Structure 1
Amino acid sequence: MSRIKIFADSTSDLPKTWVQQHEVGIVPLYAVFGDESLKDGVEISPEQLYARVDREGRLPKTAAPSPADFMASFGPYIDQGYQVLFISLSSELSSTYQNALIASGEFPDGSVTVFDSLNLSSGIGVMVMKAVQAAEQGKTITEIVDILTEMRPKVEIEFVIDTLDYLYMGGRCSGMQNLIGSLLKIRPVIKVTDGKMTPAYKVRGKREKAIDQMMNNALSNVDVMDNDTIIVVHSMCEEDALAIQKTLHEKTKAKHIEMATAGCVISSHCGPKTIGLVFVRA
């Protein structure tokens, strides 16, 4: 039986202890400040990114791993006789998927399989977890891809964004929208639909109100929720994430309620105190 090595990119926002325990390979994207390209989670942390944005008053650009990056990551495992399955950030959001496909063509047929998650952050992470479980149960690559294909449209993810400043600096809202939104304390909530980030709704008022709305949306689906894994993902708001995790333990039947920290790429788009909730419909 061929051994399987599962890879994801750094936007998958998997719990670090889980990555280590299950030996998931992570291929980092880049945060780019001018001529300086820094590997997400390797050469720069979210804390360092936020400090630099505050100091310089500008956001980094983000860049996908190159085909050469993927070849360098996959190659040693192919040489050892592994089959590689790479679960990618949505092809609608990045060239990560396409670059991985290019790299896969440099290896023998069947050595590398690239799967488009059509998701981001821990929406990818929950799929990676499912793939790892399947591999550990002895499933083949084809069987795992079938599982992921069926699962993909059932992944639900919402993010509450605390400030419009990062959306403004990233060109995703105008200066006037930012000003009005800040004055009215409007908290945008983002969903992933068909592989793209889309505004779900806006909540006016305190941040807690928006978080409560996100939680209520998830709990309204408790009867159709897959009871395996829920992920709470956050950027610099661990206390809020722990509170949500506690509530989910009380009000759902999920076996695993994991907490994850958003990496630099996700943080650079959404900003500090962003918090998200991921579950899968049964």
Structure 2
Amino acid sequence: MVKIFSDSTCDLSKELLDRYEIGIIPLFVRLGDVEFLDGVNITPEALYKWSDEHNDTPKTAAPSIEDVAKIFNPDSTDEYIVFTISSSMSACFNNVRLAAESLEIEDRVHIIDSANLSTGIGLLVIRAAELAKEGKTASEIADEIESLKDKVRASFVIDTLVYLHRGGRCSGLAALFGTALKLHPRIAVSGGAMHPEKKYRGNSHKYVMDYVKDMESDLKNARKDRVFITHSGCDKEIVEQVREYLLSLNHFDEILETRAGSVVSSHCGPGTLGVLFISD
């Protein structure tokens, strides 16, 4: 049997995890001296409250080798596909590798460095789960996923620069000017890292829709099976506006909405929204 796992940064909802029988390995989130498990006993809202009260950013950490090893059954014949956040962003990939080696089952464990984050990973995880249900072998699944990685289009538009500044990803001066000028950067993932691409201005309704409409050509040339709207806590009207626009393209079979987990939210802050898909 092929079992599919991902670390918690894939930001898939419980409904999707249950539907596709996907297991999750939670990362750690530390608020000062207190440690939590992403998606288990910490919410982004609690994280934002702590961060604002302490004017500090939470710390995040990969699951330990021992934590990862618990998902494997070395006495079974099961094969495993395990997805991790980009190896350039976290030690998750390496810890999964070491866990498999410690149990001497590395021949049955296929580790996918997603070179991505959030539902950029989730898109790949769901596809792997579909292939597993079709009866594909772990090697066949891993090969197809590797061929899809470069086709994932993951980007987000940021509401506030405060959290990027607190996390050391934006200078104080840039954050100050960006906030004063109401600038909202578009951040895209490529080559396993995050890169600023463009800046938008205006209120949240305007800049979010400007961001989405800039992708119209790419959206119309995306794989039709699904597109994600993933956000870290946005006004429902804005999310619905994005959904209606995607529906108007008459292209996607499924439009899925998910909330970013605490690890991703700790870096991007509230009000961040992304539209993520796989290029055809």
Looking at structure 2, the residues matched to 182 and 92 of structure 1 have their Cα atoms a distance apart, in angstroms, of 28
Looking at structure 1, the residues matched to 243 and 202 of structure 2 have their Cα atoms a distance apart, in angstroms, of 23
Equivalences for 1:62-141 in 2 at 5 Å? 62-75=60-73, 78-107=74-103, 108-141=105-138
- Confirm or deny: 8 A CA contact 1:92 1:195 kept in the other structure: yes
- Confirm or deny: 8 A CA contact 2:10 2:117 kept in the other structure: yes
Looking at structure 1, the residues matched to 70 and 216 of structure 2 have their Cα atoms a distance apart, in angstroms, of 43
Distance 1:140 1:170, change over 3 A: same
Gaps of at least 5 residues in structure 1 are none
Equivalences for 1:133-282 in 2 at 5 Å? 133-237=130-234, 239=236, 240-282=238-280
How far has the Cα of 1:59 moved from its partner?
Answer: 1.2
SS at match of 2:16: helix
Looking at structure 1, the residues matched to 250 and 94 of structure 2 have their Cα atoms a distance apart, in angstroms, of 37
Looking at structure 1, the residues matched to 199 and 54 of structure 2 have their Cα atoms a distance apart, in angstroms, of 29
Over the matched positions of the two proteins, sequence identity in percent amounts to: 38
Distance 1:44 1:223, change over 3 A: closer
TM-score if structure 1 supplies the norm length?
A: 0.94
Gaps of at least 5 residues in structure 2 are none
How far has the Cα of 1:79 moved from its partner?
Answer: 3.8
Looking at structure 1, the residues matched to 62 and 143 of structure 2 have their Cα atoms a distance apart, in angstroms, of 26
CA RMSD of aligned residues (A): 1.4
Deviations 1:223-278 (A, max 9, x none): 42110110110111151223212221221411111111100010000000100110
1:19 is matched with which residue? 17
How far has the Cα of 1:161 moved from its partner?
Answer: 0.5
TM-score if structure 2 supplies the norm length?
A: 0.95
Looking at structure 2, the residues matched to 87 and 69 of structure 1 have their Cα atoms a distance apart, in angstroms, of 15
SS at match of 2:168: coil
Moved over 6 A (4+): none
